[in-house]
Amino acid sequence: MAVIESTINLSTKKFIFICILTTIIANTSWNIIINTIRHTDFCNYKWINENIKKNYLKCNIQKGILPKNGGLDIKKVNDDFPFMDTQVLDISQYSGNRDDVIYQPLIKTTNDFAFSENEAKAVLIASKNSRERGNFKKAQAIIENALLKSPLHTDILMEYGIILEKEETGIILADTIYTKVLNYNPYHSEALIRRQRTLPIVQKYDDKILKALYYKRDEFYKIRKNIGAFRRALKECYFQHVYHTVALEGNTMSYLQTRMFLETGRAIGGKSIFEHNEILGLDAALRFLNQSKISLGGIGLPEILQIHHKVMAYVDPENAGKVRKVQVYVGGFTPPAPQYIDCEMKNFIEWLNDYDTLQMDPVELAAIAHYKLVFIHPFVDGNGRTARLLMNLILSRSGFPPIIIPLEERLNYYKTLKEANDGDLRPFIRFIIQQTDKTLQYFIDTTATNLEKDELKESQLIH
């Protein structure tokens, strides 16, 4: 009997082992099959049911957002609309270093100590009393003044959000404030409840402005690219792009001086060699993006290093195209230590080329890629310029011209990057959408103005 029982136990153990092994092999095989299907791009096949795509193929289905390329032939986009007008004249070379950028550290705290608890309570009581009497302007003034002294106090932030939420135009900012409160305290019950109400409204607004942007892009793409009016607009936007990009970094050359230098190659009197070299570097980077195959292939670390090398070759040839080996400090923000840069960049490149990432809306992807690269701060200098060029490279693949972030928007640019650093990327994404919209409108208006001038000249010649 003991022998029989031993044989039965052995058979049972074998059966259990075989079942476990079969289950593991089946699960592994299923994951491999699904991963293969995802990368075969079955997710884009219209004849496959949406529920099957979402639940079994794990496709990234985004409601209310247009396809990643908006239905455009991207190879045709790149052929028809280069990064710049290649007829811009060649320039002689110069040679110089300054750091750029942007962030403040993310301070994870429930409340700061600028106010004592008694002071904070007094402020909140005064604001609530004014609010209950219907005097929202006074309540807002009290809270805004308090936030100047104590910007991280969650109860004061909540009161500010409640005041803003009363006006339809303030709901987006109120939602941003609730997000900030939750970033400091994820369990803040009132912030959770109020954000449940504001979030759908904000998402609807974000989808609306994104769709409007694609309509404008399609309007822009209807412009005939072979007409002289458009070519002149392209050249004008190129000069504007170079001027504003280097001006954001502190370059003091005016727009006319920048254009004169680019067109003639002659040095501008009273301006440093360093400032000339900044312009040369950006020009070289734009030419590189326009003429190389990088605009069609994948984006990896070598491509980012190449962009940085072009940007910085005239300014800091020793560090151009090289990941930093020293610690840098940017205002109150301390970027990752040099020993972590390789790992951070590896993760960034993997994220940038991940299947799910590539299914994101390209404008959102471009903005987030910009933020991530600047946050890592992989170079001694030139991080902001490299990040903006990377952003424009991503945008160009979906039919957008290189966007201009004007000098007058510098404070908003840095402010929204700071907000991203504090945990909410949406203000920065909206800022990029806004600047993309303005750039498209600038192209449309400039081309139309040039056409009017051409027609006027023709009519004068006829008469």
pLDDT at 7 (0 to 100): 55
pLDDT at 56 (0 to 100): 46
Choice between 37 and 250, residue whose per-residue pLDDT is larger: 250
Choice between 124 and 258, residue whose per-residue pLDDT is larger: 258
Q: How far is CA 1 from CA 5, 14, 383, in A?
A: 6, 20, 78
Q: How many other CB atoms sit within 10 Å of the CB of residue 297?
A: 9
Choice between 63 and 439, residue whose per-residue pLDDT is larger: 439
At 227-249, the pLDDT tens digits run: 888 889 889 999 999 999 999 99
pLDDT level of residue 267 (50, 70, 90 thresholds): very high
Contact 324, 378 (CB under 8 A): yes
Query: Mean pLDDT for the chain?
Result: 80
pLDDT level of residue 397 (50, 70, 90 thresholds): confident
Of 257-266, 342-351, 441-450, the range with the lowest mean pLDDT is: 441-450
At 203-227, the pLDDT tens digits run: 999 999 999 999 999 999 888 777 8
**Does the pLDDT of residue 396 top 60, yes or no?**
yes
CATH superfamily ID and name for 74-105+203-458: Fido-like domain (1.10.3290.10)
pLDDT at 18 (0 to 100): 73
pLDDT at 311 (0 to 100): 97
Backbone angles phi, psi at 333, to 5 degrees: -100, 135
pLDDT level of residue 192 (50, 70, 90 thresholds): very high
pLDDT at 9 (0 to 100): 60
Choice between 65 and 411, residue whose per-residue pLDDT is larger: 411
Nearest alpha-carbon partner for 385 in 291, 312, 317:
312
Count of alpha carbons within 13 angstroms of residue 40, beta-carbon side: 10
Of 74-78, 128-132, 185-189, 407-411, the range with the lowest mean pLDDT is: 74-78
Q: Residue type at 193? A: I
User: Is 80 annotated among the ligand-binding residues?
Assistant: no
Q: What is the DSSP letter of 99?
A: -
pLDDT at 293 (0 to 100): 58
User: Is 297 annotated among the ligand-binding residues?
Assistant: no
Q: What share of the chain is helix, strand, coil (3-state, %, to 5)?
A: 65, 0, 30
The structure's pTM equals: 0.75
pLDDT at 290 (0 to 100): 83
pLDDT level of residue 101 (50, 70, 90 thresholds): very low
Q: How far is CA 31 from CA 23, 52, 54, 199, 225, in A?
A: 12, 15, 15, 34, 47
The CATH T-level fold of domain 117-184 is 1.25.40
pLDDT at 323 (0 to 100): 96
Q: How many other CB atoms sit within 10 Å of the CB of residue 371?
A: 22
User: Is 413 annotated among the ligand-binding residues?
Assistant: yes
User: Is 9 annotated among the ligand-binding residues?
Assistant: no
At 22-80, the pLDDT tens digits run: 777 766 665 555 444 444 444 444 445 555 544 444 444 333 333 345 444 444 444 44
How far apart CA 177 and CA 162 sit, in angstroms, is 10
Structure tokens at 215: 């309509």
User: Is 383 annotated among the ligand-binding residues?
Assistant: yes
Q: How far is CA 328 from CA 324, 333, 378, 457, in A?
A: 9, 9, 10, 56
At 271-294, the pLDDT tens digits run: 999 999 999 999 999 999 887 656
User: Is 382 annotated among the ligand-binding residues?
Assistant: yes
Choice between 276 and 422, residue whose per-residue pLDDT is larger: 276
Of 40-54, 156-170, 228-242, 328-342, the range with the lowest mean pLDDT is: 40-54
Q: pLDDT over 90 for what percent of the chain?
A: 52
Neighbouring-strand partners of residue 184: none
Q: Which residue matches tokens 């081309």?
A: 447
Of 132-136, 255-259, 261-265, 451-455, the range with the lowest mean pLDDT is: 451-455
Contact 248, 391 (CB under 8 A): no
Q: Which residue matches tokens 């308090």?
A: 146
Backbone angles phi, psi at 61, to 5 degrees: -100, 115
**Does the pLDDT of residue 113 top 60, yes or no?**
no
Nearest alpha-carbon partner for 113 in 156, 61, 84, 159:
156
User: Is 384 annotated among the ligand-binding residues?
Assistant: yes
**Does the pLDDT of residue 270 top 70, yes or no?**
yes
Nearest alpha-carbon partner for 160 in 108, 120, 199:
120
Choice between 239 and 102, residue whose per-residue pLDDT is larger: 239
Q: Which residue matches tokens 């991503």?
A: 394
- Contacts (Cβ under 8 Å, ≥6 apart) of 346: 301
Of 56-70, 97-111, 154-168, the range with the lowest mean pLDDT is: 97-111
Q: Residue type at 395? A: L
How far apart CA 161 and CA 187 sit, in angstroms, is 17
pLDDT at 45 (0 to 100): 46
pLDDT level of residue 10 (50, 70, 90 thresholds): low
Across the chain, how many H-helices and E-strands are there? 18, 0
Catalytic residues: 377
